[in-house]
Amino acid sequence: MSVGRLLRVIAMIAFVCPGNLQAQTGVPLQAGIQQEVLKTEAERDEAMQKADMAVLNRIYADNVIIVNTRGLYLTKAQRLADFQSGDLKFLSFDQGDYSFHIYGETVILNGRASSIIQFHGKVNRIPRKFTLTYMKLNGAWRLVAQNETLIDQP
Task: Summarize pLDDT for 54-84 with one digit per residue, the tens.
Answer: 999 999 999 999 999 889 999 999 999 999 9
Mapped onto helix, strand or coil, the DSSP state of residue 117 is strand
**Rounded Cα distance, 22 and 14, in Å:** 10
36 pLDDT band (50/70/90 cuts)?
A: very high
Taking only the tens place, the pLDDT of each residue in 103-117 is 999 999 999 999 898
pLDDT band at 26 (very low <50, low <70, confident <90, very high): low
Does position 23 have pLDDT exceeding 60, yes or no?
no
pLDDT at 127: 93
pLDDT of residue 22: 42
Which carries the bigger pLDDT value, residue 18 or residue 145? 145
Mean pLDDT of the chain: 84
Residue 151 is given by DSSP the state: P
pLDDT at 123 over 60: yes
DSSP β-bridge partners for residue 111: 130
State the maximum Cα–Cα separation within the chain, in Å, rounded to a whole number. 72
Collapsing DSSP states into helix, strand and coil, what is residue 1?
Answer: coil
